[in-house]
Amino acid sequence: MSTLCLVLAAGAGHGEQARILAALSFVLVGAKLFGALVERLGQPSVLGELLFGVILGNLALLGGPSLTPLEASETFAVLAELGAILLLFEVGLESTPREMMAVGVPATLVAVVGVVTPMALGYGVDQLFHPGTSWMSHAFVGAMLAATSVGITARVLQEAKASRSTSSRIILGAAVIDDVLGLVVLAIISGVIQAAGEGTTLEPMGVAVIVAKALFFLAGAIAVGSSLSPVVFRRALALQSRGIVLALSLGLCFGLAWLALQAGLAPIVGAFAAGLVLEDVHFEGHVKRGETPLHESLHPLTALLVPVFFVRMGMLVHVENFAKPGVIGFAAVLTVGAMIGKWACGLVVPRSVSGITVGLGMMPRGEVGLIFAGIGAALILAGEPVVTPETYAAAVFMVVITTMATPPALLWSLRRDAARVSRRGAAASGRADSA
Amino acid sequence: MSTLCLVLAAGAGHGEQARILAALSFVLVGAKLFGALVERLGQPSVLGELLFGVILGNLALLGGPSLTPLEASETFAVLAELGAILLLFEVGLESTPREMMAVGVPATLVAVVGVVTPMALGYGVDQLFHPGTSWMSHAFVGAMLAATSVGITARVLQEAKASRSTSSRIILGAAVIDDVLGLVVLAIISGVIQAAGEGTTLEPMGVAVIVAKALFFLAGAIAVGSSLSPVVFRRALALQSRGIVLALSLGLCFGLAWLALQAGLAPIVGAFAAGLVLEDVHFEGHVKRGETPLHESLHPLTALLVPVFFVRMGMLVHVENFAKPGVIGFAAVLTVGAMIGKWACGLVVPRSVSGITVGLGMMPRGEVGLIFAGIGAALILAGEPVVTPETYAAAVFMVVITTMATPPALLWSLRRDAARVSRRGAAASGRADSA
C-alpha cells in the first residue's frame, strides 16, 4: 500500500507529463482489476471503475496522499473527455440516422417528460426545504435535474450488448434532445435571473439564437455528414495509404465534437452524431483491401481512454462533503426527486418497449448537472448566490447516487427484458408447435 | 448571448478542450493526406507528417492564423509525448532482452563513437566560429550534438518492416545507451560550468549519483520486468475480463516511462524497455481465449497519437529564425559536423552489418538536443549565456535538418541493403543449383 502511495504522490509532485504517465499506468490497471472484480459479482464493469475512482479521490481520508493535482490537471480532464467522446462515437456507430428517426417521436416525448418532471419535482423540493428564497432559485434547482448524462447508460447498454434495441435507441435519442432542452432551460432561467438582477426583463432574442444554433448544428451535422461521408470515403480509396478509414473517421468524430462545443452543446452530442452518420457500407471498399473495420480499430482507443473518464468521474466525488447535517436530508429528497422525475419517462414509451428500462436509462446525471450548479453558484440574486454551497453539495450527491445506482439497476432491467423476450419466444414457438 | 458565454466559460478548461478537439481532427486528417502524398513519391509517410507540421507551424508567414496557443498547449505536448512513448513501446515489442543483449557490444561501441565524435566536431566548429569564448562553451555545444533522437529512425524502420534486423537492433540499442551517455555528459559539463561560476570545482559524487540512477533504472526495469511479467500475465488469466492484456501492457509501458523520467532519462527509454520485456508467449493463454494480440490492439493507438508527435515536431520549426545572416553559416557547418559525427558510427559496426544504415539511423537529433540547448541558454558563464540566441537558432537548424534528412536517406539505405541481400541470396541459390 505504501508503494502505491509513493508512486501516486511522487507523480503528483512532478511535472504534468510525469503526473499523466503515473496516472495512466495506475488508472488502466486499477480500473481493469476493479472492473473484473465487480463483473464477477454480476455488475457492469463501469461500476468498478467508478468505485476505483471514488477510492482514489478520497485516498486522503484513508491516510493516503491527496490527488488534488491530478484532479485539477487540465490534461487529465481532456483525456477523460476524449474517452467520453470516443464512447459516444462508438455507440453512435451502432445506429444509423434512419434508425434514430424511426424513434424520433417517442424519443422526443421521453426527452420532454424527462426534462419537465424532474424540473417540477426539483422546484417543489427546493420550495419545501428553502421556503424563504425566490421562485427563480427553485426553478434553477429544478433545471439542475434536467439533463441526462448518457455516458453511463451508453456503457451499460454496450456491455449488455443491447445498444441496438428500440429502447436503447429511444434512450440515446432522448438524451441528445435532452441536452438541447437542458441548454434552452438553462439559458432562459439564467437570463431571467440576470435580468431580474439588473432590474430588466429577459431578451427573447438571446434565447432564440441559442436554440437556433443548437438545432442548426444537430440537423446540419447529420444532413451534411450523411451525404458527404460516402463520397469522401469512396474518393479516399485513391489514396493507397493504410489506416485511412480510422484517420478520416476520427477526424469527423473530433471535428463534430468541436463543432458541437462551438454551438454550445456537449461535445459528446457531436461525437454521437458523427457515429450515426458513418456506416459500414462507406468503408466496404477499404475493408476489402485489407483495412481493419472501424469498430475493431476503435476498440483499443476506448479501452485506453474510457476508463480514464469513469475513474475521473469517481475521483470528483468527495465523501466528506455529504457529512454535513444540513445537507444530507435535502440531498436525499432532491435525489429521490431526480430519480422519480426520470422514471416518469417510462410512462410515455410505446407499448412494445420496457418503460422501466427507459426510465432507468435516463436516470444518471453527470457533468452537465454540475456545470449548471457551478453557473448557479456564480449567479447572484438579492445578494445571495442562487445555488448555495449547501445546494451545491446536494447537487453533487444527486449526481453521485443517480450515477452509481444506474449500472446495477439498468443491467437488472435489461436482463429482465431479455428473459421476457425469450419466454415470449418460447411460448410463441410452443403455440406454433401445437398448431 | 451573455448567457451562452457563461455556459461556455463554465466548462472546466473549455478553451483547451476545444483547441485539442480541433487540433486532433485537423492533425489526423492532414497528417494522413500528407503521409499518403509523400508515400506516393516513394518517401516514408513520417516525412509528410513532419512537413504538414512545418506548414502548420508557419501558417502566419503564409498569411494564415498563428497556432502559438496550440504549440504552447501542455495537453497537446503530453498527447504528442504519449505518441512517442507508444511508438517506442511498439518498436521494443519487436525484440526481446536476449536479442538486444546479443548486439550489446556493437551497440555500445556505436553509442560511444556516436557521442564522442559529434562532441569533438561540435567543439571544433564552435571554436572556429566563436574563438573568443571559453572551452566550456565549446564543450557544451559539442554535448548538444550527442544524443540521437530515435523516434524518427524507429518509425522509418517500422515502415520499411526492418525493425527486427541486426542493424536495426544495433541502432535501437545504441540510441538507448546514447541517452544514458548524453545524460552523463550533460551532468558533467553543466556541473563544471556551474562550479566555475561559483569559483569551485565539480563534485564527483553528484555525477556518480546521476549515472547510478540511470543504470540502476535500465538494468532494474529489464531484470524485474522480464521475470515478473510472465507470472503476472499467467495470474491474470484468472480474471475473466476482456481487454486485460492491453490494460496490463499499457500499464507497464506508462509505468516504466514514468520511472525513466524519475531516473532522469527520457520517458521513451522506459517505454522501449517495457516493450523489450513483454513477449508474445506471455499472452498466449489470453489470445487462445479470444483476446486480440497486443500488436494488433496497439496499432490504432499509435495511429491516433504518433502523427500528433511528428506533426508537433514539425510545428516547432520556425522558419524565420534561420533567415538571420549571422546564424546560417555557423548553423550549416554545425549541422554537417552533427551528421558526420554520427556517420562515424558506421565505421565500428560488425562486418555483416551495413555501416551506412547504422550511421544514417543514428543521425536524427530531436528534443533532447533542444533540451540541452535550453539548459545551456540558462547557464551563465562570465556574464554571458553558455548557449547564445545565435547558437540556439543553430541548434534548432541542426535538429530540423538531421530530422528531415533521415527518413529519405535511411529508407534509401534500407532498400539498398535489401537489394544486396536478395542479390546475394540469388547468387547463393545459383551456386546451390550448379552444385
Task: Note whether B2 contacts A77, CB cutoff 8 Å.
Answer: no
Task: Note whether A303 contacts B292, CB cutoff 8 Å.
Answer: no
Under a CB-based contact definition with an 8 Å cutoff, are residues B370 and B122 in contact?
no
Task: Note whether B299 contacts A297, CB cutoff 8 Å.
Answer: yes
User: Which pLDDT score, from 0 to 100, does residue B434 have?
Assistant: 59
Closest CA to B331 of B145, B183, B151: B145
Smallest Cβ–Cβ distance between A22 and the set B31, B258, B304 belongs to: B258
Interface check for A246 against chain B (CB to CB < 8 A): the answer is yes
Residues 6+ apart with CB under 8 A from B411: B42, B43, B44, B156, B159, B160
Would you call A384 helix, strand, or coil by DSSP? Answer: strand
Residues 6+ apart with CB under 8 A from B419: none
Asked if pLDDT for residue A435 goes beyond 60, the answer is no
Task: Please state the φ and ψ torsions of residue A381, each to the nearest 5 degrees.
Answer: -130, 120
**How does residue A14 score in pLDDT terms, banded at 50, 70 and 90?**
very low
Interface check for B371 against chain A (CB to CB < 8 A): the answer is no
User: Which pLDDT score, from 0 to 100, does residue B350 have?
Assistant: 87
Interior/surface letters A213-229, b for 16+ CB within 10 angstroms, e for the rest: bbeebbeebbeebbeeb
Question: Chain A closest CA to B306's CA: distance in Å?
Answer: 12
Q: How far is CA A172 from the centre of its chain?
A: 10
Interface check for B248 against chain A (CB to CB < 8 A): the answer is yes
In A, minimum Cα distance to B271 occurs at: A21
Interface check for A40 against chain B (CB to CB < 8 A): the answer is yes
Interface check for A287 against chain B (CB to CB < 8 A): the answer is no
Round to whole Å and give the CA distance between A51 and A31.
9
B3, B47, B268, B311: best to mutate for the A interface, most A CBs within 10 A: B3
Question: Chain B closest CA to A188's CA: distance in Å?
Answer: 9
Which grid cell sits at B331?
548553423
User: Which pLDDT score, from 0 to 100, does residue A34 have?
Assistant: 92
Residues 6+ apart with CB under 8 A from A435: none
In A, minimum Cα distance to B293 occurs at: A300
Interface check for B36 against chain A (CB to CB < 8 A): the answer is yes
Per-residue pLDDT reduced to its tens digit, A177-213: 887 788 778 778 877 787 777 777 666 777 777 778 8
Per-residue pLDDT reduced to its tens digit, A299-332: 999 999 999 988 987 887 777 777 777 788 899 9
Return the minimum-mean-pLDDT range out of A32-36, A290-294, A369-373, B138-142.
A369-373
Q: DSSP secondary structure string, A292-356?
A: PPHHHHHHHHHHHHHHHHHHHHHHT--GGGG-SHHHHHHHHHHHHHHHHHHHGGGGGS-TTS-HH
Round to whole Å and give the CA distance between A417 and A227.
36
Q: Which residues does chain A have within 8 Å of residue B268's beta carbon, measured at their own beta carbons?
A: none
A21, A190, A315: best to mutate for the B interface, most B CBs within 10 A: A21
Q: Give the Å distances, CA to CA, from A224 to A85, A97, A236, A269.
A: 20, 12, 18, 16
User: Which pLDDT score, from 0 to 100, does residue A27 have?
Assistant: 94
From chain A residues 55-114, the ones with a CB under 8 A of any chain B CB are 74-75, 77-78, 81-82, 85
User: Which pLDDT score, from 0 to 100, does residue B433 have?
Assistant: 60
Would you call A385 helix, strand, or coil by DSSP? Answer: strand
Q: What is this structure's pTM?
A: 0.82
For cell 432522448, the residue is A174
Round to whole Å and give the CA distance between A197 and A384.
11
In A, minimum Cα distance to B252 occurs at: A25
Per-residue pLDDT reduced to its tens digit, B67-87: 888 888 889 989 998 998 998
Task: Note whether B20 contacts A187, CB cutoff 8 Å.
Answer: no
User: Which pLDDT score, from 0 to 100, does residue B386 have?
Assistant: 85
Residues 6+ apart with CB under 8 A from A40: B240
Task: Note whether B262 contacts A17, CB cutoff 8 Å.
Answer: no
Question: Chain B closest CA to A47's CA: distance in Å?
Answer: 14
Q: Give the Å distances, CA to CA, from B26 to B32, B253, B308, B432.
A: 10, 28, 10, 55
Residues 6+ apart with CB under 8 A from A400: A317
Q: Which residues does chain A have within 8 Å of residue B41's beta carbon, measured at their own beta carbons?
A: none
Task: Please state the φ and ψ torsions of residue B290, each to the nearest 5 degrees.
Answer: 110, 0
Task: Note whether A28 contacts B250, CB cutoff 8 Å.
Answer: yes
In A, minimum Cα distance to B14 occurs at: A261
Which grid cell sits at B360?
544514417
Q: Give the Å distances, CA to CA, from A109 to A218, A343, A352, B24.
A: 18, 13, 15, 36
In A, minimum Cα distance to B76 occurs at: A75
Which grid cell sits at A331?
440531498
Q: Give the Å distances, CA to CA, from B123 to A58, A130, B344.
A: 54, 77, 16
Q: Which residues does chain A have within 8 Å of residue B261's beta carbon, measured at their own beta carbons?
A: 14, 17-18, 21
Interface check for B323 against chain A (CB to CB < 8 A): the answer is no
A37, A246, A254, A269: best to mutate for the B interface, most B CBs within 10 A: A254
Interface check for B31 against chain A (CB to CB < 8 A): the answer is yes
B254, B261, B308: best to mutate for the A interface, most A CBs within 10 A: B254
Interface check for A11 against chain B (CB to CB < 8 A): the answer is yes
Task: Note whether A25 contacts B244, CB cutoff 8 Å.
Answer: no
Q: What is the 3-state secondary structure (H, E, C) of B365-407?
A: CCHHHHHHHHHHHHCEECCEECCCHHHHHHHHHHHHHHHHHHH
Helical spans, DSSP H, in A198-243: 204-236
Instruction: Decide which of A412 and B151 is more confident.
Output: A412
What average pLDDT does the segment A243-272 reach?
Answer: 88
Q: What is the pLDDT along chain B (435 residues), one digit of tens a residue?
A: 233 333 333 333 468 889 999 999 999 999 999 989 888 887 778 888 888 988 998 888 888 888 888 888 889 989 998 998 998 898 888 778 877 778 888 989 999 999 999 999 999 999 999 888 888 889 989 998 988 888 888 888 888 888 888 888 889 888 888 877 887 787 788 777 877 777 776 667 777 777 788 788 888 888 888 888 888 888 888 777 778 889 999 999 999 999 988 887 778 888 988 988 998 778 888 888 888 888 889 999 999 999 998 898 888 777 777 777 778 889 999 999 999 999 999 898 888 888 899 999 999 987 677 777 877 877 888 788 888 878 888 888 888 889 889 899 999 999 988 888 888 877 777 666 655
In A, minimum Cα distance to B264 occurs at: A18
Smallest Cβ–Cβ distance between B32 and the set A187, A243, A371 belongs to: A243
* Strands in B106-222 per DSSP E: none
User: CA angle, corner B120, sides to B117 and B124, nearest 5?
Assistant: 140
User: Which pLDDT score, from 0 to 100, does residue A433 have?
Assistant: 59
In B, minimum Cα distance to A194 occurs at: B3
Under a CB-based contact definition with an 8 Å cutoff, are residues A150 and A389 in contact?
no
* Strands in B254-400 per DSSP E: 380-381, 384-385
* Burial degree of B174 (CB within 10 A; 0-12, 13-18, 19+): buried
Task: Note whether B247 contacts A32, CB cutoff 8 Å.
Answer: yes
User: Which pLDDT score, from 0 to 100, does residue A430 have?
Assistant: 67
Interface check for A200 against chain B (CB to CB < 8 A): the answer is no
Q: Which residues does chain A have within 8 Å of residue B244's beta carbon, measured at their own beta carbons?
A: 32, 36
Task: Note whether B74 contacts A77, CB cutoff 8 Å.
Answer: no
Task: Note whether A25 contacts B246, CB cutoff 8 Å.
Answer: no
Interface check for B290 against chain A (CB to CB < 8 A): the answer is no
Under a CB-based contact definition with an 8 Å cutoff, are residues B178 and B265 in contact?
no
Interior/surface letters A167-180, b for 16+ CB within 10 angstroms, e for the rest: bbbbbbbbbbbbbb
Smallest Cβ–Cβ distance between A17 and the set B11, B31, B261 belongs to: B261
Percent of all residues in chain A with a pLDDT value above 90, rounded to a whole number: 23
Interface check for A239 against chain B (CB to CB < 8 A): the answer is yes
Interface check for A300 against chain B (CB to CB < 8 A): the answer is yes
Q: Which residues does chain B have within 8 Å of residue A191's beta carbon, measured at their own beta carbons?
A: 3
Round to whole Å and give the CA distance between A434 and B308.
65
Closest CA to A313 of A14, A81, A44, A22: A81
Interface check for A264 against chain B (CB to CB < 8 A): the answer is yes
Q: Which residues does chain B have within 8 Å of residue A31's beta carbon, measured at their own beta carbons?
A: 247
What average pLDDT does the segment A387-410 reach?
Answer: 86
Smallest Cβ–Cβ distance between A20 and the set B7, B32, B78 belongs to: B78
In B, minimum Cα distance to A238 occurs at: B36
What average pLDDT does the segment A81-99 reach?
Answer: 85
Question: Chain A closest CA to B294's CA: distance in Å?
Answer: 10
Instruction: Decide which of A401 and B240 is more confident.
Output: A401
Would you call A261 helix, strand, or coil by DSSP? Answer: helix
Helices (H) and strands (E) in chain B, counts: 19, 2
* Burial degree of A235 (CB within 10 A; 0-12, 13-18, 19+): exposed
Query: Distance between the two ends of chain A, CA-based, in angstroms?
Result: 66
User: Which pLDDT score, from 0 to 100, does residue B5 have?
Assistant: 31
Task: Note whether A303 contacts B246, CB cutoff 8 Å.
Answer: yes
Q: Which residues does chain B have within 8 Å of residue A264's beta carbon, measured at their own beta carbons?
A: 4, 7-8
